[in-house]
Structure 1
Amino acid sequence: MSEFLKFAFEVLSQVVYNIVTWLVAFAKVFVTGWFEYFVIFKTYFPTLSIVGKVLSVLLMILLAAIPIVIILLLIRRAILNYQLKADKSDNAALYREIGRLNKQVLDLMEEKNSILALKVNAMGGTERIPYMGASALTDDVIPSVGNVTDPGKAVQGAAAKAGAAAIISGTDDPKKAPVVRAVVSSDPGETVEHRFPKLTLVDQKYAAFQYPQYNNDITLEEFVEGYRLFAASQMKLYYTPEIIRRFVAGMAASKLLILEGISGTGKTSLPYSFSRYMENPATIVSVQPSYRDRTEILGYFNEFSKRFNETEFLRALYEANYRLDPTLIVLDEMNLARIEYYFAEMLSVLEMPNEDEWVLDLVPTAWEGDPVKMEGGKIHVSTATWFVGTANNDDSTFTITDKVYDRAMPIELNERADAFECELQPHCDITAEHLQYLFQKAKTEHPISEESLEKLQKMDNYLVTRFKLSFGNRIMKQMYDFIPVYVACGGTELGGMDYIIARKVLKKFESMNVTFVRDEITGLINYIDKTFGKAEMEDSKSYLRRIQNLY
């Protein structure tokens, strides 16, 4: 036993010695060792150069700062502990208790709301109780029309009518009972509530809407030239026939068009005036940098107010289901936020091959009094709708990714057209169905020639061999849709093919190795001249030269 005690004593004494040694060493490093540091500093300082003297002073300051920082941290920690214990209670535990109590309060409020709903259902009879919001959770008296509505208001009179505005459904589900069931009244003096107030107003607007007499005899070339003259004569906006040709052909190739170019070339004015030409003014949505998801453009359901926070984008999307003419929705400065974030669902919907699947879920279930064109909480994206985005490329914007570019049709506006005088041009009322018919007719009358397809195949092989770059199926489909309409609008087949190749294929060079692309561009330009002719494909060649000069 004495041997064990001797062993334990030596081990513990060594542990204590090591701890004391470490503490002494620590104190010597930051406290008592300063005399030795100063002696060393004083010995070397006179012999050092100017740079050495500056560095030596900085080193001494750094060594002094370390213990000072440690002391300040310890003091701050002590002060915080003192403040937390000042009232002789554990405040951290108190905060946790407050959070738990808040959760219990919310649960009790929900339970009281459910009980109130059950009472309302049990009342029966002809008395209808309007939704009271937060007051229904705090008052013990069940509200009635009499004690929540001013007798002098028209809403009280509306409650007694067969098409009453703001009634509570007689459902057995307690969670649905206190929700507003609004019915639009024909009396303009009545004030009513609705889950989708903006969409309900659209239903009202088109209840007795008089559609114009549509022109179903116009050709695509006449349609394009008519718009050009309309924009010049009535809106003092001037565009070249080539830009309008690309815009209309782009509508045939994709439901999403992206207008790019320098500021002041009329990117926003183009779709705005185009919609005025068809007498269906476009809805312009100013994209904000904070846009992150679909709720920014579609809105969201507010569980507290039991109403959907609608946006102008949603209203225009819904109204398009009533319109027979094309509807344009403009996303102004669309790349101020990431397009693939807030517009992702729309991109996916528009990719569906079956147009019956072009639907958006807004709310989980349908309620009585929902908008007429809404089915099961879903709205349909009309095939008569086109989305037009404007984009600037500067430090304040995001790069448009290939995912978006592949699905869209980019149109560049980099030059102003010269002003010209012309006679006053009237509007053109045309249905979206007839416009689609003209697109299909153009594909029948102006199919891409076998000669052009053969040249395109050769160029595809060249790009695959030299650049590992190929045409995707989506780009080929857009080419088959774009080029015939471009020709029907007054353009040439190679001109349409040139534009698609430049904007949809060669643009991918911007994401490739810069040095490699620059060295190979000259050979590609020579190959294009040899395959298509030196006088053709100027758009593609100028784009390649611009890339070459840029890098």
Structure 2
Amino acid sequence: MLANFIIDFFGQLLDGVLTIIQGIIFGIIKSFNFIDYGETISTYSELLGGWFWIVGILCIILIVAFLGGIIYLATRGIKKILVMARKALNQEDLVKEVNSLNKEVMRLNLEKDKILSMKISQIGLNANEISNLTGEELEALNGQDNKVEEETTSRFYKLTEVDKAFENYVAPEYDNEITLPILCERFRNFCCSRLKLFYNIDIIRLFVSSFASTRLLILQGISGTGKTSLAYAWGKFLQNDALIASVQPSWRDKAEIFGYFNEFTKKYTETDILKQMYVANYTNEVYITVMDEMNIARVEYYFAELLSILEMPSKAEWIVELVASVWENDPKKLSKGKIRIPENMWYIGTANNDDSTFAITDKVYDRAMPIDINTKGVPFEAPDTPPIKLGFEHFNELLENSKKDFEVSPDNLKKLEELDDYVIKYFRLAFGNRILRQLKTFVPSYMACGGKEIDGIDYVMAKKVFRKFAYLNLAYIRDEIDGLLKFMDKLFGKENMKECRACLSEFQKLV
């Protein structure tokens, strides 16, 4: 009897559940029985006539919308169930991974404790005294391994290799008899005979004499006129190849020149320019660093620190800090993490003026000596001319002596002062002490190279002063330029100041 009771009692529940399931299945079949819908429409269409079709179509639309909604909701429900199931599985995997990582951390901590215990025993402490150590003492113990690595591996790999290369360096014999005129002539003939590069002697004189006035030269003009080749040829002529660094559009700060210390690897990322500077501190050679297409990035950004340093009158202040700390195995020529900017290195930038480049600002132009190369050289015959070995000390002595032997005449200095007053009065521009100082160093060297004093003055005025007229309102000053040209004819003569005259005439044509 008990068994019959249990069967009857739970059988009633089972019959009810089966009835619900059957009802759901029957309801779904009934709802989607399109044959019955068709028969119903067919029956009533004959009884109700034409208006029935309008009502019938609306009913069909409602039925389709209702059934579509049911299907949509059912699909969404199934997707949510699947997503929740997947998240549950992923959560289980994450829990397993976290547990695995926790075990690994525990293992590493145990290993660390063993190593620390060994270090403690080495300094005479027992395990019970470890808890008495301060955090700084524990950090110092953990840092001993890093210190060992610092002592065995230099963070300046390239500079350390330079130290090794110069351990047994013997300076070569230099040509200490050559003069500036002969230097210019031989360089021009060398370019022609050995490299098949053809330059006007005036370009060579401008190039060589520019070394006296500034450490930054800018060779500018249209593409394909031999700007980079001129600096390249100078390195070949002196038997000390120029370093050609291709400027990238991404250059933004001094790290592109000097490199930077990587805090993660504890190594210094050295640039080729930094290495060249370091090498230059070892020798008496004349070094050239070429920044090819220098204005493809903003010069006043990546070259700013060097511009400021090279302006300092005392060479003892030509110092750049590379790192703040000092390691025992740092390169020999670094002093307290600082490098000395070598006196025997010049920086030559090549610049194209097109849509892909930035305009070079006055800040850069005022501190540099621009040389325009806008025409291809005309081939000429030259005797075979070998390269020379020119030491920096002799070259610098030639440039310094030219300031004494070929000083700018007092008469021309007085004329320049009058011209300065005129330009200030009518154009609100002044030469500035920097430009006048460069003129007093450039013109004597230009004369020592074989050029004329008035031509040197003409070049500096055109490239350093009248060039700035481009930033003025040319339409407003067009007539004033006529007056300036007449004033210059009165001061220097109509046959002189051709560069200035061409520059000013070009501005008038732009109006």
Please state which band the TM-score falls in when normalised by the shorter chain.
0.7 to 0.9
Q: How does 1:379-528 map to 2 (within 5 A)?
A: 379-528=339-488
State the alpha-carbon separation in 2 of the partners of residues 545 and 452 from structure 1: 23
Q: Residue 284 of structure 1: CA displacement?
A: 0.7
CA distance 1:502–1:368, shift in 2 (3 Å): same
* Pairing partner for 1:341 from 296, 301, 309: 301
Corresponding residue SS for 2:320: strand
Q: How does 1:293-308 map to 2 (within 5 A)?
A: 293-308=253-268
Q: Which 10-residue stretch deviates more, 284-293 or 509-518?
A: 509-518
State the alpha-carbon separation in 2 of the partners of residues 214 and 307 from structure 1: 38
State the alpha-carbon separation in 1 of the partners of residues 113 and 333 from structure 2: 34
Corresponding residue SS for 2:198: coil
Corresponding residue SS for 1:470: coil
State the alpha-carbon separation in 1 of the partners of residues 167 and 174 from structure 2: 20
Q: Residue 119 of structure 1: CA displacement?
A: 7.6
Q: How does 1:25-64 map to 2 (within 5 A)?
A: none
User: Which consecutive unaligned segments of at least 5 residues does structure 2 have?
Assistant: 1-79, 86-97, 124-138
The answer to whether the Cα contact below 8 Å between 1:227 and 1:277 also exists between their aligned partners in 2 is yes
Equivalent in the alignment of 2:129: none
Asked whether 1:178 is paired with 2:158, we answer no
Corresponding residue SS for 1:421: coil
CA distance 1:116–1:414, shift in 2 (3 Å): farther
State the alpha-carbon separation in 1 of the partners of residues 462 and 117 from structure 2: 69
CA distance 1:298–1:466, shift in 2 (3 Å): same
Corresponding residue SS for 1:252: coil
CA distance 1:176–1:246, shift in 2 (3 Å): farther
What per-residue deviation string (whole Å, max 9, x for no partner) do you get for residues 447-483 of structure 1?
Answer: 0101111111111111011101111010011011000
Equivalent in the alignment of 2:155: 195
Q: Residue 305 of structure 1: CA displacement?
A: 1.7
State the alpha-carbon separation in 2 of the partners of residues 224 and 279 from structure 1: 16
What per-residue deviation string (whole Å, max 9, x for no partner) do you get for residues 417-451 of structure 1?
Answer: 21122222121211111111111111111001011
Asked whether 1:327 is paired with 2:283, we answer no
Q: Which amino acid aligns with 1:520?
A: E
State the alpha-carbon separation in 2 of the partners of residues 173 and 540 from structure 1: 71
Q: Which amino acid aligns with 1:181?
A: E
CA distance 1:256–1:116, shift in 2 (3 Å): farther
What per-residue deviation string (whole Å, max 9, x for no partner) do you get for residues 20-42 of structure 1?
Answer: xxxxxxxxxxxxxxxxxxxxxxx
Q: Which amino acid aligns with 1:258?
A: I
Q: Residue 517 of structure 1: CA displacement?
A: 2.7
Corresponding residue SS for 1:456: helix
Q: Residue 514 of structure 1: CA displacement?
A: 2.2
Asked whether 1:292 is paired with 2:252, we answer yes
State the alpha-carbon separation in 2 of the partners of residues 437 and 122 from structure 1: 63
Q: Which amino acid aligns with 1:308?
A: Y
The answer to whether the Cα contact below 8 Å between 2:344 and 2:392 also exists between their aligned partners in 1 is yes
CA distance 1:388–1:116, shift in 2 (3 Å): farther
Identity of aligned residues (%): 45
Q: Residue 198 of structure 1: CA displacement?
A: 1.0
CA distance 1:182–1:330, shift in 2 (3 Å): farther
CA distance 1:172–1:376, shift in 2 (3 Å): farther
The answer to whether the Cα contact below 8 Å between 1:117 and 1:177 also exists between their aligned partners in 2 is no
CA distance 1:461–1:204, shift in 2 (3 Å): same
Corresponding residue SS for 2:339: strand
The answer to whether the Cα contact below 8 Å between 1:182 and 1:195 also exists between their aligned partners in 2 is no
What TM-score does the superposition give when structure 2 sets the normalisation length?
A: 0.73
CA distance 1:332–1:117, shift in 2 (3 Å): farther
Equivalent in the alignment of 1:250: 210
The answer to whether the Cα contact below 8 Å between 1:279 and 1:429 also exists between their aligned partners in 2 is yes
After superposition, the CA RMSD in angstroms is 3.3
Corresponding residue SS for 2:348: strand
The answer to whether the Cα contact below 8 Å between 2:474 and 2:507 also exists between their aligned partners in 1 is no
Higher RCO (CA-CA < 8 Å; seq separation 6+): 2
Q: Residue 492 of structure 1: CA displacement?
A: 0.6
The answer to whether the Cα contact below 8 Å between 1:114 and 1:174 also exists between their aligned partners in 2 is no
State the alpha-carbon separation in 2 of the partners of residues 366 and 288 from structure 1: 31
CA distance 1:303–1:450, shift in 2 (3 Å): same
Q: Which amino acid aligns with 1:178?
A: N
CA distance 1:298–1:123, shift in 2 (3 Å): farther
Equivalent in the alignment of 1:365: 325
The answer to whether the Cα contact below 8 Å between 1:297 and 1:311 also exists between their aligned partners in 2 is yes
Q: How does 1:187-226 map to 2 (within 5 A)?
A: 193-226=153-186
**How many aligned positions are there?**
404
Q: Which amino acid aligns with 1:498?
A: D
State the alpha-carbon separation in 1 of the partners of residues 377 and 155 from structure 2: 47
Rg larger in structure: 2
Q: Residue 87 of structure 1: CA displacement?
A: 6.8
The answer to whether the Cα contact below 8 Å between 1:121 and 1:177 also exists between their aligned partners in 2 is no
CA distance 1:299–1:456, shift in 2 (3 Å): same
State the alpha-carbon separation in 1 of the partners of residues 114 and 316 from structure 2: 41
The answer to whether the Cα contact below 8 Å between 1:299 and 1:310 also exists between their aligned partners in 2 is yes
The answer to whether the Cα contact below 8 Å between 2:119 and 2:141 also exists between their aligned partners in 1 is no
